[in-house]
């Protein structure tokens, strides 16, 4: 059982790289885009493609360097239309949506508006070609096999087709059809935050519904189990990178017997999670963080 870290800010990589983790299971790229502060289309219109690539490449290089040779899983952007609209140029370049959580996000956005996705891939390629071969790519909010195939084609065109490719399982359609996705990727990471929202039909951002947004629900656990079982059959890595194990330590003891190969948790939850894993998995070869 591996334990990875979830990171959002590359500048914090140095602080957390000393933890005896197995690497970064989820590097959220959204904060790089928010740091740029401008809608990607606006930036492109202003001739800022190189600034975009450079910022992303520098952020990823910092994390890859700090964690070398452990893997660093770079998740491409999963900002929603309401978040894009908050950026400079957002009102001009981003149409308002009634329901951004179900809107133009994740992989679907890459097909609708490929250029910002291509810039991210160019950043990843630059980092990889500079020798940081511990990076891997992860696509968020995949909804269908056809979408994944179309994204893989773009990866190939951008020269990153050989970099290990992971996808997030966040949409129930992927759970039901998981066997069709597995031959197309190198690893799976279950995003329990969005998956719970969509399985239970509960808006994760609505404070009045928070008590209902519960990953421990039997329906969510069954979905996780189904994905893990399919991965085990193919001998593939299967991780949970949603916040469930970080926010609810008790869920770790329910998740481990399902046969996950890894968990990815917030740095604050690392030591507690490692301890729990040792308790449930007495022969764990994890380094003792205490
Ligand atoms: C998730 O949905 O579980 C996840 C890790 O992605 P995010 O929280 O960034 O939407
Ligand atoms: Mg998500």
Instruction: Please answer whether residues 196 and 220 qualify as being in contact, where contact means their C-beta atoms are separated by less than 8 angstroms.
Output: yes
Hey, whose CA ends up nearest to atom 5 of ligand 1? 242
**What is the full per-residue pLDDT of the chain (290 aa) written as tens digits?**
999 999 999 999 999 999 999 999 999 999 999 999 999 999 999 999 999 999 999 999 999 999 999 999 999 999 999 999 999 999 999 999 999 999 999 999 999 999 999 999 999 999 999 999 999 999 999 999 999 999 999 999 999 999 999 999 999 999 999 999 999 999 999 999 999 999 999 999 999 999 999 999 999 999 999 999 999 999 999 999 999 999 999 999 999 999 999 999 999 999 999 999 998 875 544 443 33
Which pTM was predicted? Answer: 0.95
As beta bridge partners, residue 5 has 24, 265
Question: What SS3 string covers 16-33?
Answer: HCCCCCCCEEEEECHHHH
User: What local confidence, expressed as pLDDT, does residue 43 receive?
Assistant: 97
Q: Which two tokens stand for residue 160?
A: 């990153």
User: What local confidence, expressed as pLDDT, does residue 282 receive?
Assistant: 58
Hey, whose CA ends up nearest to atom 1 of ligand 1? 191
- 90 HSE (CA, 13 A, CB side): 17
CA of 191 to the centre of ligand 2 (A): 6
How many Cβ atoms from other residues are within 10 Å of residue 122's Cβ? 19
Ion ligand 2: residue ranges with CB closer than 5 A: 170, 191, 194
CATH code for the part of the protein at 2-283: 3.20.20.60
CA angle 171/220/111 to nearest 5° reads 5
Give me the residue spans of the domains in the chain: 2-283
CA of 239 to the centre of ligand 1 (A): 13
CA angle 192/20/280 to nearest 5° reads 55
């Amino acid at each position: 059982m591996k334990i990875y870290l979830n990171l959002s800010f590359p500048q914090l990589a140095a602080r957390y790289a000393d933890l005896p983790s197995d690497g970064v299971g989820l590097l959220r790229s959204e904060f790089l885009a928010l740091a740029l502060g401008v809608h990607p289309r606006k930036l492109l219109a202003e001739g800022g493609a190189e600034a975009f690539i450079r910022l992303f490449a520098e952020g990823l290089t910092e994390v890859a360097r700090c964690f070398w040779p452990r893997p660093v899983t770079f998740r491409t952007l999963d900002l929603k239309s309401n978040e894009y609209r908050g950026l400079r140029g957002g009102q001009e370049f981003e149409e308002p949506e009634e329901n951004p959580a179900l809107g133009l996000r994740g992989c679907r956005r890459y097909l609708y508006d490929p250029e910002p996705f291509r810039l991210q891939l160019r950043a990843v390629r630059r980092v990889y070609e500079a020798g940081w071969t511990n990076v891997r790519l992860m696509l968020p909010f995949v909804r269908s096999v056809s979408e994944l195939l179309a994204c893989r084609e773009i990866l190939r065109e951008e020269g990153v087709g050989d970099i290990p490719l992971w996808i997030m399982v966040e949409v129930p359609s992927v759970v039901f059809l998981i066997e069709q996705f597995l031959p197309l990727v190198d690893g799976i990471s279950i995003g329990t935050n969005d998956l719970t929202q969509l399985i239970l039909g509960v808006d994760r951002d609505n404070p009045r519904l928070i008590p209902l947004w519960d990953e421990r629900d039997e329906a969510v656990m069954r979905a996780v189990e189904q994905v893990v079982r399919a991965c085990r059959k193919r001998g593939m890595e299967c991780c949970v990178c949603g916040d469930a194990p970080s926010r609810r330590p008790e869920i770790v003891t329910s998740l481990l017997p399902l046969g996950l190969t890894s968990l990815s948790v917030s740095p604050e939850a690392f030591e507690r999670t490692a301890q729990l894993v040792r308790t449930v998995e007495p022969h764990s070869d994890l380094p003792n963080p205490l």
